[in-house]
């Protein structure tokens, strides 16, 4: 058997008990620096808070703490200016930063890791990063909600068909349809807000898993990093990735909402529907068919949920069955969350742009709303209200009139009074007033209904809420 030669000497950070360094392939599978360098700012912030606390509690001298503080600022500027040489043999961002710090400030740098482990370090870094992403998602969603609100306001009383089973159901208003998405994205925002609140506890100080014998002040580091409090159980602190899963869960539901509107845009912008015109900024042409204007952004938004949901599945699969506490499996958490977060932010921005720039075709919406017997329910309701028929009977009478209109190739308002009376002799001229789509939507005054007054009051409520 051939022995693969280690390509490096034992690791400088933890190599005390190792005679040789790792195999090159071990370095490749083990190192996370290729992706976790994205956590550099959080890692340095965590180390700064830790060093300041070590000094305040007398664990570290004031001069060492000052040397560490200045050294960490130098590392930060080296990374931000692209001068920092990341090393795979140093595995991850934590060891890369600490090693460079020690090069810069000597012995003091070697004291930074007192009362700390990479286990609580990565837990705090990643939490800080995910917390920022929750904030970004919330603000992206607020902007998106504003774009839907503007659309709703412009067409609060424009009539369009409402669908079930993608079959014409009842007339609704454009404003009402837009506001449905405001509700959906508001719930999404609430989910990120909840997740953020729950994750806002600081795991730093849990050390490897058991806490530490040093007299640290976990409340101080928690405060310095903007957390509400320290986490209460050191084992849970290093083993937990719920915060990432909750972020992914909220992101998945949000991506699902984005995909639903994206699908509506694909349908609505087609030549068969012509409900909306997408701006040139969010569409592409075809290299062969000159007439084409493809809704590529909408199609991509429809698809992006695949990546985000995939990341969610991947992280659940990594975490399931892991014994407490930290296992290296958990290093596989980051790339999934990074990609999902990047995808979500891009998707939110693209949807916001597309919604802001799209133009609803009021006439096409109105024409579609008036076809497909969309006011059949209004007719049945009229039979109940005016003639006192039981709803089931009214439903049957209306059904026969729909069949008659279908056979004649016309819509309900085009039937004559005599034809109406053939289905029920009590029907009078008054029935025609409920067959118009405008009257239909205006009548739906129940709270949350599609009547323009209702829609306008929801718009006003949301405008006040969004400020
Ligand atoms: N790179 C590691 C990760 O992302 C950091 C924690 C390593 N801890 C350890 N005990 N090896 O999970």
CA of 330 to the centre of ligand 1 (A): 8
pLDDT tens digits along 414-465: 999 999 999 999 999 999 988 989 999 999 999 999 999 999 999 999 999 9
pLDDT of residue 6: 46
Give pLDDT, residue 289: 81
Residues 273-301, mean pLDDT to the nearest whole number = 90
304: closest CA among 240, 260, 245, 364? 260
Residue 379 makes CB contacts below 8 A (sequence gap 6+) with: 398, 401, 412, 431, 434, 435
Span of 33-42, 220-229, 289-298, 357-366 with lowest mean pLDDT: 289-298
Whole-number pLDDT of residue 240: 98
Q: Kindly report the pTM of this predicted structure.
A: 0.93
For the cut 70, the answer to whether the pLDDT of residue 115 exceeds it is yes
In terms of C-beta density within 10 A (0-12 exposed, 13-18 middle, 19 or more buried), how is residue 51 classed?
buried
Run of H or E including 360: strand 359-360
Is-contact 169 163, C-beta < 8 A?
yes
Q: Give the Å distance between the CA of 175 and the centre of ligand 1.
A: 50
pLDDT of residue 5: 46
pLDDT at 399 over 50: yes
Measure CA of the first residue to CA of the last residue in the chain; give whole Å: 71
**pLDDT category of residue 8 using cuts at 50, 70 and 90:** low
Q: What is the mean pLDDT of residues 200-205?
A: 98
| Separation of CA 264 and ligand 1 centre (Å) | 44
DSSP structure string for 387-445:
H---HHHHHHHHHHHHHHHHHHT--GGGS-HHHHHHH-TT--GGGGGGSSHHHHHHH--
* Residues making up the chain, counted from first to last: 467
286 catalytic per annotation: yes
Residue pair 75/58 in contact (Cβ under 8 Å)? The answer is no
- Residue with CA closest to ligand 1 atom 1: 92
**Which of the listed residues 14, 91, 237, 331 should we mutate to test ligand 1's pocket, taking the one with most ligand atoms within 8 A of CB?**
331
Whether 11 shows a pLDDT value over 80: the answer reads: no
Query: Residue 77 C-alpha to ligand 1 middle, in angstroms?
Result: 24
User: Where does ligand 1 bind, in terms of residues with CB under 6 Å?
Assistant: 32, 36, 92, 118-119, 122, 326, 328, 330-331
Residue nearest to atom 12 of ligand 1 (CA): 331
* CA R_g for the chain: 31
Interval 244-280: pLDDT, tens: 999 999 999 999 999 999 999 999 999 999 999 999 9
pLDDT at 190: 98
Residue 126, classed as helix, strand or coil, is: helix
Is residue 382 predicted with pLDDT exceeding 80?
yes
**Cβ(307)–Cβ(254) under 8 Å?**
no
d(CA 460, CA 456): 6
Nearest CA to ligand 1 atom 2: 331
**Nearest atom in ligand 1 to 32's CA:** 1
Atom 7, ligand 1: residue with shortest CA distance: 118
118 CA distance to ligand 1 centroid (A)? Answer: 6
Computed over every residue of the chain, the mean pLDDT equals: 95
State the Cα torsion 381-386-388-393 to the nearest 10°.
Answer: -40
What are the tens digits of pLDDT across the range 160-186? Answer: 999 999 999 999 999 999 999 999 999
Ligand 1 mean position, distance from CA 229 (Å): 23
CA–CA gap between residue 261 and residue 300 (Å, rounded)? 12
User: Which residue out of 14, 92, 126, 209 has the highest number of ligand 1 atoms within 8 Å of its CB and is therefore the one to mutate?
Assistant: 92
**Which residue minimizes the CA distance to atom 3 of ligand 1?**
331
Which one of the listed residues 286, 327, 371, 400 is annotated catalytic? 286
Is 63 one of the catalytic residues?
no
Closest CA to 243 of 196, 208, 283, 190: 196
How far, in Å, from the CA of 464 to the mean position of ligand 1?
A: 46
């Amino acid at each position: 058997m051939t022995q693969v030669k280690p390509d490096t000497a034992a690791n400088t950070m933890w190599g005390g008990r190792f005679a040789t360094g790792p195999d090159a392939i071990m370095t490749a599978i083990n190192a996370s620096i290729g992706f976790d360098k994205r956590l550099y700012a959080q890692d340095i912030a965590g180390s700064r808070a830790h060093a300041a606390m070590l000094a305040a509690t007398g664990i570290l001298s004031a001069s060492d703490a000052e040397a560490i503080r200045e050294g960490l600022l130098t590392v930060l500027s080296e990374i931000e200016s692209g001068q920092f040489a990341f090393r795979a043999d140093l595995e991850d961002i934590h060891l890369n930063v600490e090693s460079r710090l020690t090069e810069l400030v000597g012995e003091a740098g070697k004291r930074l890791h007192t009362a700390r482990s990479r286990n609580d370090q990565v837990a705090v870094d990643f939490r800080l990063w995910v917390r920022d992403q929750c904030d970004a998602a919330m603000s992206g969603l607020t902007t998106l909600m504003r774009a839907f609100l503007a659309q709703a306001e412009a067409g609060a009383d424009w009539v369009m068909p409402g669908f079930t089973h993608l079959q014409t159901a009842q007339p609704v208003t454009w404003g009402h349809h837009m506001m449905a998405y405001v509700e959906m994205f508001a719930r999404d925002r609430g989910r990120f807000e909840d997740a953020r609140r729950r994750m806002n506890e600081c795991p730093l100080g849990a050390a490897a898993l058991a806490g530490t014998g040093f007299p640290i002040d976990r409340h101080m580091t928690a405060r310095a990093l903007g957390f509400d409090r320290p986490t209460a159980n050191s084992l849970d602190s290093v083993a937990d990735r719920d915060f990432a899963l909750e972020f992914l869960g909220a992101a998945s539901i949000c991506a699902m909402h984005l995909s639903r509107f994206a699908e509506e845009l694909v349908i609505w912008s087609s030549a068969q529907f012509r409900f909306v015109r997408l701006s040139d900024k969010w569409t592409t042409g075809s290299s062969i068919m000159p007439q084409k204007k493809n809704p590529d952004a909408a199609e991509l938004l429809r698809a992006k949920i695949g990546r985000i949901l995939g990341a969610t599945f991947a992280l659940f699969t990594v975490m399931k069955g892991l014994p407490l506490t930290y296992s290296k499996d958990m290093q596989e958490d980051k790339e999934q969350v990074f990609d999902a977060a990047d995808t979500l932010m891009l998707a939110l921005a693209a949807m916001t742009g597309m919604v802001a720039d799209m133009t609803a075709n009021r006439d096409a919406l109105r024409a579609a709303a008036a076809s497909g017997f969309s006011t059949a329910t209004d007719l049945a309701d009229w039979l109940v209200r005016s003639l006192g028929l039981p709803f089931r009977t009214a439903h049957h009478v209306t059904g026969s009139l729909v069949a008659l209109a279908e056979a004649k190739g016309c819509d309900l308002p085009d039937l004559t009074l005599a034809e109406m009376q053939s289905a029920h002799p009590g029907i009078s001229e008054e029935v025609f007033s409920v067959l118009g789509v405008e009257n239909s939507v205006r009548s739906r005054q129940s709270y949350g209904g599609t009547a323009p007054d209702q829609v306008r009051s929801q718009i006003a409520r949301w405008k006040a809420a969004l400020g």
